[in-house]
Chains A and B, each alone.
Chain A
Amino acid sequence: MPLDDLESAGPGDKGMTGTDVVTARDRGLVACTRCTRVWPMDTETCARCGSTLRSRRDRHLQRVWAWLSVGIVCYIPANLYPMLKTRTLFVEQDSTIIAGAVEIAQHGGYGIALVILVASVLIPIGKFISIAYLALSLKRQVKMSRHRRHQLYEVVEFIGRWSMIDVFVVAILSSLVQLSAIASINPGPAAITFALSVIFTMLAALSFDPRMIWDGPEDRQE
């Protein structure tokens, strides 16, 4: 990394071996992750913003696993039960997430089918795997570098909310298509379990403390 050159020119890294970054914890300080202020290690509450201070939220790892497990559990019925109940004059049809996407693709809407599949299948499953991987990587040696793992965390945090798309689609369709006898669309039970799955996985990602990624052994390439 070219940045290391910038850093080593600074006055502060004298006497430091290997690592060129000093963390708040190294200095006996605890940092507020909400407002970035630092305090002496034994401070409990940030006087600037009122957040609870923890040098590392290491005990929250249990919460990560707990939220993640409920998230996965909720995701199963979300795929088995219908998301949408469509009723037209003579036909009544229940469709699950995947069936709905396939149906759109058959009508030629490949782009939209792709959006639905990515948002409701690829992203949730990718998130489950990524969060589990990140949590496991804190305890054991993994191949992926700290930088990569941190990037993975940022992607998971950013992209997780987008899985809500399908829930909103159901809400829009069910309110819009209410034409008495001719056509009506109503939400199925999967709408609620899917929404819960998204919310729980978001909570899992938010409970994860990315600072713990950086406590691990330094990468060879760094």
Chain B
Amino acid sequence: MIGPQLNEPVATTAAPEDGPEEWIACPQCDALFTATVPALGERACCTRCQTVLIAPRRGAFLRVIAFAITVMILMIGATFFPFLQVRVAGMRNAASVFDAVLAFVDGPMVALSVAVAALIVLIPVMRAALVVYVLFPLTIGRAPYRGAAWAFRLAEVLRPWSMAEIFVIGCAVALVKISDLAHVDYGPAFWMFGSLVVVIGLQDSSMCRWTIWKALDPETRA
């Protein structure tokens, strides 16, 4: 059970005097509320299905930008530095994430290579870049850049397809799978990728979508 202070209804049903730009509809169950911004750090949830609707954080835009830039920098290292290294009977082979992506390049598996590259490297980086593009002008108090709404929508559409964290768990499984076949060492990229996943998580959890959409909307921008 969520505590009541986290779970205040956004409002009851919409009062007739405020306009539709003040209203908010739950994307999961279509319940309609008057949008009332909760105190910083608190969350306003849908009273019917508990979906978090508004969750403002102090200095969130700046923080999200910082996380997004960190993601982009870490991803460069995590992609090209060796990730894992195997040693068997004096032979060794080191693989980077880039190599893992190229694993399917031979033969009919090229499509899978492209998909893996997209899911673990390109989409996470692209989302980070889009978020910076959207939020940077807002943090310095300027009007949003051209196409910012389109960019943020794309970042949100891509969200379920960003799978870096799943790749890390995949690594753990892979390690155990070959541990009796060969000796395995971690490379620097392994730790970079691990921290990358944490930063992506922080980036997504400190972002209040409603606040950003409101700031992008010329009608409701404060």
Q: Answer yes or no: do A and B interact.
A: yes
A34-B116 contact given A23-B32, A150-B29, CB 8 Å threshold: no
Interchain CB contact (< 8 A) of B163 among A161, A170, A213: A161
Of chain A, the residue at the smallest CB distance from B54 is: A36
> Footprint of B on A, CB under 8 Å?
3, 6-7, 9-13, 16, 21-27, 29, 31-40, 47-51, 88, 100, 104, 107, 109, 112, 115-116, 147, 150, 154, 157, 161-162, 164-180, 182-183, 185, 187, 191-192, 195, 199, 202, 206, 210-211, 213-214
Of chain B, the residue at the smallest CB distance from A8 is: B12
A214-B177 contact given A6-B9, A164-B163, A172-B170, CB 8 Å threshold: no
Fill in one digit per residue for B46-65: 1 if any A CB lies within 8 Å of its CB, else 0: 01110001000000000000
Rounded to whole angstroms, the CA-CA distance of A96 and B213 in the bound complex is 46
A165 & B170 in contact (Cβ 8 Å cutoff): yes
B32 & A38 in contact (Cβ 8 Å cutoff): yes
B31 smallest CB distance to A (angstroms): 5
Contacts of A185 in B (CB 8 A): 178
Interchain CB contact (< 8 A) of A36 among B13, B53, B101: B53
Interchain CB contact (< 8 A) of A50 among B47, B89, B153, B160: B153
B27: Cβ under 8 A from any A Cβ: yes
Fill in one digit per residue for B159-174: 1 if any A CB lies within 8 Å of its CB, else 0: 0110100110111111
A31-B86 contact given A21-B48, A112-B176, A165-B166, CB 8 Å threshold: no
A192 & B13 in contact (Cβ 8 Å cutoff): no
B24 & A211 in contact (Cβ 8 Å cutoff): no
Rounded to whole angstroms, the CA-CA distance of A33 and B15 in the bound complex is 22
Contacts of B160 in A (CB 8 A): 157, 161, 202, 206
Contacts of A154 in B (CB 8 A): 28
Fill in one digit per residue for B27-48: 1 if any A CB lies within 8 Å of its CB, else 0: 1111110000000000000011
B72: Cβ under 8 A from any A Cβ: no
Contacts of A6 in B (CB 8 A): 8-9, 47
A101 smallest CB distance to B (angstroms): 10
Rounded to whole angstroms, the CA-CA distance of A9 and B25 in the bound complex is 20
B20: Cβ under 8 A from any A Cβ: yes
Rounded to whole angstroms, the CA-CA distance of A202 and B213 in the bound complex is 25
B104 & A211 in contact (Cβ 8 Å cutoff): no
Contacts of A161 in B (CB 8 A): 160-161, 163, 166
A178-B93 contact given A172-B84, A173-B174, CB 8 Å threshold: yes
A23 & B170 in contact (Cβ 8 Å cutoff): no
Rounded to whole angstroms, the CA-CA distance of A31 and B33 in the bound complex is 11
Fill in one digit per residue for B90-109: 1 if any A CB lies within 8 Å of its CB, else 0: 01110100011111100011
